[in-house]
Amino acid sequence: MIKTVIIDDVPMLRRDLLEMMARYNDFIVIAECGSIKDAIPVLRATQPQLLLLDIALDDGDAFELLAHFRPLPFHVIFVTAYAQHAIQAIRLGALDYLLKPVQEDELRNALERVRQETLPAPTLPMQLDIAGTSLRKQFPNDRIVLRTQEALKLVLFEEITYCQGNAGYTHFLLTGNRKIVVSGNIKEYEELLPSHLFIRCHQSYLVNYHYVDSFKKEGLLVLKTGETIPVSNRKKDLVVQFLTGQ
């Protein structure tokens, strides 16, 4: 049985989650809390394996709570109402989350990922730091977490030369002739990478301007690596403005 604690400051939402969790025989909800103050002693006393954790609580945010537990001894699935900056922060850290109202299939998928991972990923503290920094807009935030089929990869923005989208996947081309392939279209990652550093020059390409050597009139970005990246006709003016700082 996977011991679970629900932490949300809205009693009705805690009750809804409790009812949904009762359908999974290998999970047991051992406690529920409505604040950071209440949750800290409960978590220390009960030692759960999973938290269903609201991001915004009355007395602080989820990352303040988690800062009390390092190394993290449990899995975390965030539960949040839709707020673009919060979702972006969580995705930047490649963390699991559920949107309120929680949908049964999304909960089922998130719980399945917990089943498959015996222990929390060793990268989880760094993932939380990245997400928490982004949520509170404490810059500089200089990295992204990429979830591959094999592992979670922590990648500095400065290591990314460009991204290429292809059939529902995004290829991250990194310094040192490295490549990471992740699921998700390139637009998803365009929203996560800093817009002052990366330019979407084509529907399939996102380029780190630090690696741009020149822009040819025929519509090609030449990178310092020697590679060439196409620029779509409708993006040419935008690319010129971006590169010239206008």
Residue 139 pLDDT more than 50?
A: no
CB atoms within 10 A of CB 111: 22
Topology classification of domain 2-135? Rossmann fold (3.40.50)
Q: What pLDDT score was predicted for residue 188?
A: 86
Identity of the residue numbered 235: K
Instruction: Tell me the pLDDT tens digit for each residue of 182-196.
Output: 998 999 889 888 888
- Which of the pair, 123 or 176, is modelled with greater confidence? 176
Residue 207 pLDDT more than 50?
A: yes
Backbone CA torsion sign across 178, 183, 185, 189: negative
CA dist., res. 110 & res. 114, Å (int) = 7
238 neighbors 199 (Cβ within 8 angstroms): yes
Query: 143-244: same fold as 2-135?
Result: no
Domain ranges for the chain: 2-135, 143-244
CA dist., res. 82 & res. 91, Å (int) = 13
CA dist., res. 204 & res. 137, Å (int) = 29
Nearest to 202 by CA among 155, 166, 158: 166
Q: What average pLDDT does the chain have?
A: 87
The separation between the first and the last C-alpha atoms of the chain, rounded to the nearest angstrom, is: 58
2 neighbors 49 (Cβ within 8 angstroms): yes
Domain 143-244 carries which CATH code?
Answer: 2.40.50.1020
Q: What pLDDT score was predicted for residue 88?
A: 67
Q: What pLDDT score was predicted for residue 116?
A: 83
pLDDT confidence band for 229 (50 / 70 / 90): very high
pLDDT confidence band for 45 (50 / 70 / 90): very high
CA dist., res. 75 & res. 131, Å (int) = 15
